Amino acid sequence: MNGDQAMRAHSATLPSPVFEHPAWVTPPPLTRSTVAIVTSAALYAAGDEAFGAADTGYRLIDRDRRDLVLGHWSPNFDRAGVAVDLNVVYPIDRLEELAAAGTIGGVAPRHVSFAGNQPDDVSTIRLDSGPAAAAALRADGVDVVILTPV
Amino acid sequence: MSVLAHVFEAAGIATVVLSSVREMAEKTAPPRALHCEFPLGRPLGRPGDAAFQHDVLARAFALLSLPSGPVLVDHPEVIQADESPLACTLPPRFDPSLPPAVDEARGLRRAYDRALARRGVTSVGRVIDADGVPGALAVLHAIAEGADWKDAGIPGGNTTAVCHDIRTYYEEAALELADGPVPGGRAVEDWYFEQTEAGATVLKARAAIRDGGGKFPVWFYMTPGQR
């Protein structure tokens, strides 16, 4: 079993919360939607606060920043890909291209990064930091988020 | 990610998840998910391939037009992690008086500096910077050779952080040295742990800490779990 297979098999056994009444939002047409990225790669802008080992918080990343540090604490995934091309985790240049082409309405002014290695109960991101990050994006007029896992 | 999708959706923002573990997406059932069986750490699949990344995004955004959910669909392409170590020349032995990993790390410094100058940012820096890598490897070498890990002077007192910094230093240097196409998932990890003196030193130090009574979190996260 290779590293990815081992990690996928392990992750599949982790507990997951049940959402009894999941929300469903119908967004505006994509051509009029403002889109943001939410990643769990623990990326943060150079000079911003680094992620701690059990960090349940989030960092906001301004749209024009590309000098991002990978602050994830798990050793169990490839990091070379994002070192070569940020977009393989954080597709900010792809969103800019889609906006320029009129495929999406616009790129959000700020994007969000969490750390993927959360405590098993995920209670903080569910009840505290997650809603706070969502409120920040709502204040920026975001209609759609694309979530990219690490 | 699937939990956050529920949270953001409840706040009034439509979401699409690029799933990396299908069973988790099935259990957590985010409103919309595109499962991407790609190397972990590469949710858009192919570094440096804008066309492929656009294909992933187009398939994900297409889910936004569906009237109800949850919906979980698969990207049609599967990309396996590359288990062949990156082909990357290592510096020759320069100072035989030093532990091999220390000598090796010193020899990679120029490549690391070129990578930093080109990229403008580094992910080395949790507890040491590039200047601290040879010294950190000297500490791990001593542990591997029998020194008591508890008073060996592990930088920052944090094995996970220092091992992240050393590995990142090597990986950023290697990407500067290697020719050819973008390496596949795990190829650089395989190079580091299977071909470098530093990787071998970390593995030996990890085993020594484990066998020396270190608690699980102290030694386990020094390397990927399968090692």
Residue B203 touches chain A, beta carbons under 8 Å: no
Q: Show the domain range for A115.
A: 29-148
- Is the pLDDT confidence value at B187 over 90? yes
Six-digit token pair at B45?
């699949």
- Three-state secondary structure of chain A: CCHHHHHHHHHHCCCCCCCCCCCCCCCCCHHHCEEEEEECECEEECCCCCCCCCCCCEEEEECCCCCEEECCCCCCCCCHHHHHCHHHCCCHHHHHHHHHCCCCCEECCEEEEEECCCCCCCHHHHHCHHHHHHHHHHHCCCCEEEEECC
User: Within a domain: residue A8?
Assistant: no
Which residue of A lies nearest to B67 if distances are taken between CA atoms? A26
Per-residue pLDDT tens over the stretch B82-109: 878 999 999 999 999 999 999 999 999 9
User: Which run of H or E residues covers position B73?
Assistant: strand B71-74
Give the Cα separation of B138 and B195 in Å (integer). 18
**How many other β-carbons are positioned within 10 Å of the β-carbon of residue B227?**
16
- With an 8 Å Cβ cutoff, are A11 and B50 in contact? no
User: Within a domain: residue B95?
Assistant: no
Q: Looking at residue B120, what is its pLDDT?
A: 96
- With an 8 Å Cβ cutoff, are B13 and A46 in contact? no
Count structural domains, chain A.
1
For residue A126, which residues of chain B lie inside 8 Å, CB to CB?
Answer: 3, 6-7
Minimum-distance CB partner of A70 among B27, B80, B123: B123
Q: Show the domain range for B14.
A: 2-74
State the ipTM, two decimals.
Answer: 0.96
Same structural domain for residues B31 and B67?
yes
Six-digit token pair at B16?
């699409």
Residue-level length of chain A: 150
Distance from CA of B123 to the nearest CA of A (A): 5
Same structural domain for residues B161 and B214?
yes
User: Within a domain: residue A23?
Assistant: no
Percent of chain B scored above 70 by pLDDT?
Answer: 100
User: Within a domain: residue B44?
Assistant: yes
Rg (CA), chain A: 16
Count structural domains, chain B.
2
Q: Looking at residue B39, what is its pLDDT?
A: 96
User: Within a domain: residue A24?
Assistant: no
**How many other β-carbons are positioned within 10 Å of the β-carbon of residue A148?**
29
User: Within a domain: residue B187?
Assistant: yes
Distance from CA of A31 to the nearest CA of B (A): 11
For residue B1, which residues of chain A lie inside 8 Å, CB to CB?
Answer: 38, 40, 116, 147-149
Same structural domain for residues B105 and B149?
yes
pLDDT band of residue B61 (cuts 50, 70, 90) is very high
Q: Looking at residue A11, what is its pLDDT?
A: 86
Residue B10 touches chain A, beta carbons under 8 Å: yes
- With an 8 Å Cβ cutoff, are B14 and A143 in contact? yes
- Is the pLDDT confidence value at B180 over 90? no
Question: CB–CB of A72/A116 below 8 Å?
Answer: yes
For residue B5, which residues of chain A lie inside 8 Å, CB to CB?
Answer: 147
pLDDT band of residue B112 (cuts 50, 70, 90) is very high
Question: pLDDT 10s per residue in chain A (150 long)?
Answer: 788 898 899 888 888 888 888 999 999 999 999 999 999 999 999 999 999 988 999 999 999 999 999 999 999 999 999 999 999 999 999 999 999 999 999 999 999 999 988 777 788 888 899 999 999 999 999 999 999 999
